[in-house]
Structure 1
Amino acid sequence: MVAIEEAEPLIVPGDEVDFAVLGPVRAADAGRPIRLTAKARAVLAVFLLHPGAVLSRDRLIASVWDDPPRSALPNLQTYLTALRRASIDVETVPYGYRLRLGPDRLDLLAFDEAVRRARLEAAGGDAATADRLFAEALALWRGRPAEDVPLAATMQARVAELEERRENARLGWIDVRLRLGLHDELVGELTPLVEAAPLNERLWHRLMLALHRAGRRAEALEAYRRARSTLVTELGVEPGQELRGLQAAVLDDAPAPAPAPEEARQPAWTGICLLPADIADFTGREDETRDLVAALDGTGTAPVIVTVSGPPGVGKSTLAVHVAHLVRRRYPDGQLFVRLCDASLSPRDPADALAELLRALGVDTAGLPSSAGERAAMYRAKLADRAVLVVLDDAAGEAQVEPLIPGTPGSAVLVTSRGPLPALPGATAYALDVPPPADARDLLAGVAGAGRVASDPESAETIVDACGRLPLALRIAGARLVTRPAWPLAELARRLADASALNELRAGHLDVRATFGASYAALSAPARYAFRLLGSVAADGVAAWTVAAPSGATARDVDGSLEELAAAGLVTAGDADSAGQPRYRMHDLLRGFAAELFAAEESERSRTEALRRIAAAARDRAVDAARELPLAFAPPPPGVPARTPPCPRGGAWLEAERGVLVAVAETAARAGLAHEAAGLACALAPFLVVRGFHDEAVRMLGTAAGAAAAAGDADAETRLRLVRADAEVDRRRAGEVAGEFRHLLDRCSRAGDRHAAAYASLGVAATLEADLGSALAFATLAAERFEALGDGHGLLSAWTEIAAIQLFVGRNDAAVVTCRRALAHAGGHSAVHRARFLRMLGIACYETGRVEEAIGLYRACRDLCRDLRWSTGERLTLHRLAQAEAALGRHDAATGILLRCAEMSVNAGDTRGEALISYTMGEISRWRGDERAALAHFTTCLDRLDPLNEHFWSARTRDQIARSRAVLG
């Protein structure tokens, strides 16, 4: 839940602009102050400190919070909405947000514009106009930028940069007033400035000059003495030539001219290009290319910075070089390129990268400073006021990039990195994923030949899928086809499918496994272990608990390792699941590589123990999260926790972890961990069945049952087969498992397992649709046994079958007794049982003419199904509710309910449900007197019914069709 902050004091507007950030943040709409919360004001401040720049969500979050909360993203969205509601026009652009402002609306831009014009006037000799413009510019400063809002520490560099620009402007104004002869005024102004910045020789120089030209010679010499004393004491250096020359002029009582106005620097070099060659067969990435070209066209008061991140082999460098060539004309002073990792993926020292760039810019090696800081200063000086594009390839982190950023606007930096760089000030971030299928096929065709790929599209699709659409893998696959012109595509497709795809994905110096291996080798030992563990479970994405479980650690304990994997581009962590957990995802080929390492670097005992612990942790978590659901259709294991009312948190966790839990159960079963696989499968099956994932449930339970059989655990095998057969019954495949239930009943009886036999008897009852008398006998026997055994879940399941049979044969009063008895007994058990009996009690009331009472029961059942997120139960109940509404003549209401029910059935793939809805629509049409519409609905119903498994409804629908045709003649 997003916290609601108390309103802050009004933001008071400035006199001449709508927004102000040079001091306390101010904003106004048509002269009226805008009220915002503290955090919303902080977000606004970030935009005002970067006017016109595209700011990503990650950058905004990193600018506002030093330690972002889990709710940072929804909070940010709330603050952006608040800004827009306050008529602050924050634009949503690709990969971020932007606030466009002009100098007439923001004091920072007004300051820059006034300073620019003042310098032009000063250079042109109009000192009086320059004096006025500098005064206007510096009057806009009311304190430290954004001093009254809570910003993260990463913003301090931006604030310091702006303050440095203010001091440079102040010095320019002082020089203008020296030329105007305002010496006494300047002495009073400069004295406190040199006290505040005693190491600034330029300020001492201007103070001495003002004193000398005001006729205060002794004070000027005293100022020099103090300046020299400070420099020698603090830095161990003598004053510079400018200060010493002025001292000599004062001693000689000679005139000293004012400093010349600043002049624009002329480039000493133009047109340098260090970019690698573009790829002639570059294919796809149209959207990404367009977005990056647009981002590099940004304007503002700082260099444009764009980052492109993604896993190894996804094509970051290729795309960056391609885009850099496209925008070369925008940066006529040069395009620089430097790799920030060596061949082993070890990060290069920024000092080495700076040396490489400075040599390319013409700096003699003998003149290079020794420290990275001094080299960075020289680098910024060389690029100052130029339009240069700097491409930094394969950056390892923000600290490596920051010294390589130019210091003035007009230039741009394009950075590629394996992981995101969220703390890079002012950067626009792009996360690069694999290309879409069509682009991936085009890339393969561009290398292997369009005609060859078109000749066997099915094999080409297999190759693209086996490569996981990873550009590096596709390029290698195409290269292998080129070197083997006699190979059919089907041969490479077969090799990629039959063996590890990584064995086939190498050609010349290109090798997917080697690329992955270099990233892996650069990790710390804990991060390498975490990476191997991610390969032990064939799941699309995992939460931290999965990685922590094998070592008995907590999710917090493995945070560092997972962050390192994300920074290396080996996992992505950009989304949270429905339970609010960060989800770590991995490309298919990377997961295969991790699985290879898990098998190669972990002993068999270590692998087995890791899987055992993951499966045990998964079972315990699933058991706890599934407490709102019924127990599995088998004798419950000891220690099962009590059932709870509907629990959204537990359901959300199961929904988020479904793929992982199924994969862990199946992996454990295949590894021979039959006991762990059985426990997890039985704990998870009710969730899968209630939520409609029957295929996954049946497959998982079958795999676990096979493992139990191989391990000689007959009891576990029986339980798993019972649960699997019940899942088939739930999706109306009772006829297909009738033999299975009878076999299990015979097996349990011979083994003397009366408890499991009771479930098998109930399963037999569910399959006897053509012999309801026998079905009732089997269900009644099962109920008696469950009651004797004290199995409340089994008893409620038996009563469910009994009530259904009673309703089917028209014994409605008996069904009422059964349902009311069950509802009284259902407390403490899953609310799914309660929902079933409410619906069946409603049916009994409806059939006995108590329609209003039935509607109340249906509505209660519907609400409970929604709380449980049980869509099947909700669909069945809505269908019954529509029937009852129609029976009372409320046909429009009934039709509306049926349309909603039909939509749910289509989404769930429930063709039987669609058929029965059509039947009810036919009844409503008949009640309305529209027999032709009724005939159409009944005909649709019959077309959708399965004639082999729906004897009753097929016969009933044929009767209705015959009746309609008779009426219509």
Structure 2
Amino acid sequence: MRVQGADGPVRLSAKQRAVLSVLLLHPNVVISTERLVAAVWDDPPRSAVANLQTYVSQLRRVVSGTALRLRTEPSGYACELSPDRLDLLAFEDVVRRARRARQAGEHQAAEQAYKTAVSLWRGRPAEDSRLGSAMEPRIAELEEQLLLARSEWIDVRLELGGEDLVVELRTLVAGHPLRERLWAQLMLALHRSGRRSEALDAFRQARAVLSSELGIEPGRELADLHAALLAGDPAPSATVSQRVPLCQLPADTSDFVGRKAELDVLLPAARARPERMSPPIVVVSGLPGVGKTTLTVHAAHLLRADYPDGQVFLRLGRDAAGPRRPEDLLGELLRSLGVDGTLVPGPLEERASLLRQRLADMGVLIVLDDAQDETQVRHLLPGTARSCVLVTSRSRLPALEGATRLQLDLPGEHDARLLLERVAGGARFRAAPEAARAILKACGLLPLAIRVAGARLAIRPAWPVGVFASRLEDRRLDELIVGGLDVRSTFGESYAALPEPARRAFRLLGLADLGSIAEWSAAALLGSSGLETDAALETLVARGMLDSGEVDGAGQPRYRLHDLLRVYAEERARVEDDPQEQRAALTRHVRECLRRLRAATSDLPIPTAPPFPQAEGMDGVGIAWLAAERRTLVHSVSAAVELGMAEEAAELAHHLSAYLNLEGFFDDVERLQRIVIAAAPSERIALRAELLLAGVPLSRGAYGPSGEHFGRIYQDCLRIGDSHGAAYALINRAACLHGAGLFEEGLEEAHRAIALLEELGDEGGLDYAWTWPVYMHMELGRYGEAVRLCQERLARTGEDRRARGDLLRALGIARYRHGEVAEAVWCYQESLVISELIGDRVAASRGLRRLGEALGALGRFDEAVEALDRARSLFRECGDGLGEALATYALGEVRLRQGRAAEALGLLVTARDGLGPGGPPTWRARVLRELGRAYAELGEHPCAAAVWRQSAELFESGPERAQVEDFLSADQD
């Protein structure tokens, strides 16, 4: 070992030399402290670790002026340097260049490269360093690399003539008398030098050595060369030197697209590197048809130069008897590697041992396609680091030791589109981009499906793309078959390999037709315990039929079926499962949805219709669970109707509306209630759904249409004798009158509703109903009455935290309007504590808006701005445009109080635009009032007067109109 510094060779002590030798024999790799100790000492002293630290510290100082860099890691040490600074790395690089040149037929370039590589060697690796016996395998491996490179160099020189090789080969044969390849090269060199008799004598010597040392006859290659010499062949060749390269790889795909990120992982993990201690193994997994084999074959072609002794391709999939046996696979693999079939042993372990022996000195790339499990693969692995194994499987093969795993996902839309265009021709898609998108969507971006779809279009170049897109959407799997490629058959192979419990789970998941599913849903469909369900799901995930890479906001693992797999699963369910069993599974799921929904919504605001019975809360079932399961629960309403469970559908839609309104999913509420109304078995159920439907425009701030709708529902409820429904129609009509600024009429309606609700004993409805008289008294300037009503109702709310929070917020508004601003702040803060405890983002956003308004009035501007910014963010998250506009208005008020009129003007204009012409008249009037103040502060008096006049018209009467008229009068003066 030599280290060259700027001023010449660097002197090292014996132990420094030993430590550095070990690191240089594993360049750019972290060597653990334990391995380093074992490599330096056969019998390490007790102070070995401390000594090692000392040697490394000394080395850092000694080599500081060289190209070496020693790095300390938590687990050990590494020596970093570039390939051109270490002869070992340079040797590997030059040998790779030589092999590429040889494969390309550039023999002169190959000969020079091999010559350069061999010239880098000076004796044994680190022979002047005293190393422990643990380093012998590594040193032997490097010497084997040298011998192989030298033998390949001789092959090239033989191809160029090679008459001058006899002396060199006799020396090599004397040192390695059991290597048949060297004997064959010597015989060929002797023959080309005109020394035929010596060549025949060399065969007799080789035969004698092999017989006496190993008890075997020369192999076929040596025997064939001997026979050719005996026959007088003028140009005999040794198979070893003129062999046809072993390459069983299927052809690379000419239209291969994308996958750069995946190749950036796969190729470095699979490349031959001198520092490897074990064979590289890469497992490429993913769902059927995602392109595992295509990617792996493409990568294998890119890796051929790294494994010059051959590339083997072996299909491990099922045959008629099931998964192929390792014994059979080993036999096929050994024969591929040139082992005579008559010499292949019978027992599995002996075949595996022979494979490891055969591959020990070879650099072979083995591709194992469609592995079923680890048992199939484990016996097919080489024992040394010179060969590599690429495995494709629908499973990640988690129990396969030492493997790098690459989970192959669906390609992005751009790459999927490019693949479709390359297969079918791009021009026709540029003229029909929407049809192209529809085809990709119907294929679910699955590469196999895209390839089939593209091939179908390529067959019929005049076929309109839009026509095929429509057919594909209606008959997906029936259309995805062409020329031996069949998406349904591909899925069928994977399905057939599943055990029956997993097949049943797969079918029922497809039958449920859900985008994603949590374990509780699967258990309900299967009607089985959690353990049985978990086992079935785990099997589906392991076999690549189900994706489990997601955890939802409630902490639940979610499972997804690819769209096409879901279609296939539903097909299998319709064929294999009894209709009664299908119905029973879906019914169990609907009832479990309802059971959990009752518990999850028990603490939510009541919807705008009389309540259904609710359940006690369940662990893990709350707002986060509702958010995670929204699509499943929405789907359950349609499923219930299809099953003839109209009453359950109505109850599901009712409870779900409480959450959907809270989070701003108003379109979902409308769609669900229309489904319920269309299927309602009675007018009473239909009217209750109408109440919820009429509440959607009310939530959106459209009071006129809602008021008329609630009025009609009130009359219909009275007609059929549903006083409970009538009470809710009245209180919601009162809310609409409040929004329209008709406060006296609203008070009258609210009190009629309250009287009905008191007769019915509906305390939840009363908590909701009493808030409206409070707000109407405030709008009429009766702040003391509003405070009194709030306090009376607070005394009756008991343990209902949500009602208490709403009343505290209303009390805060009344106190604020009454001039008791500090008391209002306390009410808002108490209300916010409750909102945060129960996870009500809507109530929290409203409380924050009011708190910011009050803090601004107290001159606590920084706190006010912080509260209002939080309120705006929450309103935005909840999709509440009205709330966001009002929070922006409040922030504009704060800026006005701070004397920042220009900034206030921008905020108030945004608030005005956010409210729009259909917003609540009272709030529009208030925004315009403050907007006029901002204009006035900036000296733009005509603008101020114009918006104040609009504000006065909207207020119609009351103290706030009088205030605006005062502003106008003062401005004119």
Q: Are 1:846 and 2:816 matched, yes or no?
A: yes
2:677 to 679, 687, 705: 705
1:521 to 496, 514, 524: 496
Paired residue for 2:343?
A: 367
Contact 2:701/2:920 (8 A) holds in 1: no
1:764 to 730, 733, 741: 733
Distance 2:785 2:594 in 1: 40
Q: Following TM superposition, by how much is the alpha carbon of 1:500 offset from its aligned partner in structure 2, in angstroms?
A: 2.9
Q: Following TM superposition, by how much is the alpha carbon of 1:722 offset from its aligned partner in structure 2, in angstroms?
A: 2.4
Distance 1:128 1:922 in 2: 78
Q: Following TM superposition, by how much is the alpha carbon of 1:811 offset from its aligned partner in structure 2, in angstroms?
A: 2.4
2:913 to 943, 948, 963: 943
Distance 2:790 2:125 in 1: 97
Q: Following TM superposition, by how much is the alpha carbon of 1:746 offset from its aligned partner in structure 2, in angstroms?
A: 1.9
Unpaired segments of 5 or more residues in structure 1? 1-14, 35-86, 91-98, 105-111, 114-119, 139-164, 170-239, 245-265
- In structure 2, relative to structure 1, the CA distance for the partners of 1:243 and 1:310 (3 Å cut) is closer
Q: Are 1:543 and 2:541 matched, yes or no?
A: no
Q: Following TM superposition, by how much is the alpha carbon of 1:732 offset from its aligned partner in structure 2, in angstroms?
A: 2.7
Q: Per-residue CA shift, 1:332-388, capped at 9, x if unaligned? A: 222221111036794211111111111110011111111222111111111114322
Q: Following TM superposition, by how much is the alpha carbon of 1:766 offset from its aligned partner in structure 2, in angstroms?
A: 2.1
Q: Following TM superposition, by how much is the alpha carbon of 1:322 offset from its aligned partner in structure 2, in angstroms?
A: 1.0
1:296 to 247, 262, 270: 270
| Structure-to-structure mapping, 1:276-291, within 5 angstroms | 276-291=250-265
SS at match of 1:363: coil
Q: Following TM superposition, by how much is the alpha carbon of 1:425 offset from its aligned partner in structure 2, in angstroms?
A: 0.7
Contact 1:270/1:334 (8 A) holds in 2: no
2:688 to 719, 722, 739: 719
Query: What one-letter code is carried by the residue in structure 1 that aligns with 2:451?
Result: R
Q: Following TM superposition, by how much is the alpha carbon of 1:728 offset from its aligned partner in structure 2, in angstroms?
A: 4.2
- In structure 2, relative to structure 1, the CA distance for the partners of 1:922 and 1:545 (3 Å cut) is closer
1:866 to 836, 847, 855: 836
Paired residue for 2:108?
A: none
- In structure 2, relative to structure 1, the CA distance for the partners of 1:766 and 1:31 (3 Å cut) is farther
- In structure 2, relative to structure 1, the CA distance for the partners of 1:131 and 1:802 (3 Å cut) is same
- In structure 2, relative to structure 1, the CA distance for the partners of 1:649 and 1:755 (3 Å cut) is closer
Q: Are 1:619 and 2:594 matched, yes or no?
A: yes
Paired residue for 2:572?
A: 597
Contact 1:689/1:697 (8 A) holds in 2: yes
Contact 1:354/1:379 (8 A) holds in 2: yes
1:743 to 700, 712, 725: 712
- In structure 2, relative to structure 1, the CA distance for the partners of 1:653 and 1:736 (3 Å cut) is same
Contact 1:344/1:518 (8 A) holds in 2: no
Q: Following TM superposition, by how much is the alpha carbon of 1:912 offset from its aligned partner in structure 2, in angstroms?
A: 2.4
SS at match of 1:133: coil
Contact 2:700/2:882 (8 A) holds in 1: no
- In structure 2, relative to structure 1, the CA distance for the partners of 1:670 and 1:728 (3 Å cut) is farther
Paired residue for 1:225?
A: none
Query: What one-letter code is carried by the residue in structure 2 that aligns with 1:294?
Result: P
Query: What one-letter code is carried by the residue in structure 2 that aligns with 1:805?
Result: M
Distance 1:297 1:915 in 2: 60
Distance 1:129 1:508 in 2: 62
SS at match of 1:389: strand
1:875 to 840, 845, 850: 845
Q: TM-score if structure 2 supplies the norm length?
A: 0.72
Q: TM-score if structure 1 supplies the norm length?
A: 0.72
SS at match of 2:367: strand
Paired residue for 1:835?
A: 805
Query: What one-letter code is carried by the residue in structure 2 that aligns with 1:913?
Result: G
Distance 2:125 2:302 in 1: 43
1:678 to 612, 629, 650: 650
Paired residue for 2:387?
A: 411
Paired residue for 2:969?
A: none
1:423 to 372, 378, 399: 399
Paired residue for 1:352?
A: 328
Q: Following TM superposition, by how much is the alpha carbon of 1:887 offset from its aligned partner in structure 2, in angstroms?
A: 0.8
Contact 2:284/2:408 (8 A) holds in 1: yes
Contact 1:698/1:728 (8 A) holds in 2: no
- In structure 2, relative to structure 1, the CA distance for the partners of 1:460 and 1:386 (3 Å cut) is same
Distance 1:921 1:631 in 2: 30
Query: What one-letter code is carried by the residue in structure 2 that aligns with 1:510?
Result: L
Contact 2:510/2:566 (8 A) holds in 1: yes
SS at match of 1:877: helix
Query: What one-letter code is carried by the residue in structure 1 that aligns with 2:450?
Result: L
Q: Following TM superposition, by how much is the alpha carbon of 1:726 offset from its aligned partner in structure 2, in angstroms?
A: 2.9
Contact 1:631/1:686 (8 A) holds in 2: yes
Contact 2:547/2:559 (8 A) holds in 1: yes
Paired residue for 1:199?
A: none
Q: Per-residue CA shift, 1:467-517, capped at 9, x if unaligned? A: 1111111111111111222222211122223x1322222222112122212
Q: Following TM superposition, by how much is the alpha carbon of 1:541 offset from its aligned partner in structure 2, in angstroms?
A: 1.2
Distance 1:428 1:370 in 2: 31
Q: Following TM superposition, by how much is the alpha carbon of 1:137 offset from its aligned partner in structure 2, in angstroms?
A: 5.5
SS at match of 1:445: helix
Identity %: 41
Contact 2:664/2:880 (8 A) holds in 1: no
SS at match of 1:536: helix
- In structure 2, relative to structure 1, the CA distance for the partners of 1:453 and 1:943 (3 Å cut) is same
Q: Pick which of 648-657 and 324-333 moved more.
A: 648-657
Q: Per-residue CA shift, 1:133-187, capped at 9, x if unaligned? A: 345759xxxxxxxxxxxxxxxxxxxxxxxxxx89x99xxxxxxxxxxxxxxxxxx
Contact 1:267/1:386 (8 A) holds in 2: no
Q: Are 1:432 and 2:404 matched, yes or no?
A: no
SS at match of 2:461: coil
Q: Per-residue CA shift, 1:611-668, capped at 9, x if unaligned? A: 1111011111222233332444433334x33579xx8753333232222222222222
Q: Following TM superposition, by how much is the alpha carbon of 1:596 offset from its aligned partner in structure 2, in angstroms?
A: 2.5
Q: Pick which of 24-33 and 840-849 moved more.
A: 24-33
Query: What one-letter code is carried by the residue in structure 1 that aligns with 2:851?
Result: L
Contact 2:684/2:720 (8 A) holds in 1: no
| Structure-to-structure mapping, 1:142-221, within 5 angstroms | none
Larger radius of gyration: 2
Distance 2:832 2:547 in 1: 39
Contact 2:599/2:621 (8 A) holds in 1: no
Distance 1:837 1:32 in 2: 74
- In structure 2, relative to structure 1, the CA distance for the partners of 1:367 and 1:475 (3 Å cut) is same
Paired residue for 1:965?
A: 935
Q: Are 1:921 and 2:891 matched, yes or no?
A: yes
Paired residue for 1:560?
A: 535
- In structure 2, relative to structure 1, the CA distance for the partners of 1:917 and 1:554 (3 Å cut) is same
SS at match of 2:318: coil
Paired residue for 1:327?
A: 303
2:748 to 769, 777, 781: 777
SS at match of 1:940: helix
Distance 1:330 1:792 in 2: 78
Distance 2:584 2:779 in 1: 52
Query: What one-letter code is carried by the residue in structure 2 that aligns with 1:844?
Result: A
Distance 1:438 1:273 in 2: 33
Distance 1:696 1:910 in 2: 15
- In structure 2, relative to structure 1, the CA distance for the partners of 1:651 and 1:936 (3 Å cut) is closer
Aligned CA RMSD, in angstroms, stands at 3.8
Paired residue for 2:316?
A: 340
Q: Following TM superposition, by how much is the alpha carbon of 1:539 offset from its aligned partner in structure 2, in angstroms?
A: 1.9
Query: What one-letter code is carried by the residue in structure 1 that aligns with 2:793?
Result: A
Q: Following TM superposition, by how much is the alpha carbon of 1:782 offset from its aligned partner in structure 2, in angstroms?
A: 1.9
| Structure-to-structure mapping, 1:440-451, within 5 angstroms | 440-451=416-427
Unpaired segments of 5 or more residues in structure 2? 1-17, 24-30, 39-43, 54-70, 81-87, 90-117, 142-210, 216-239, 941-973
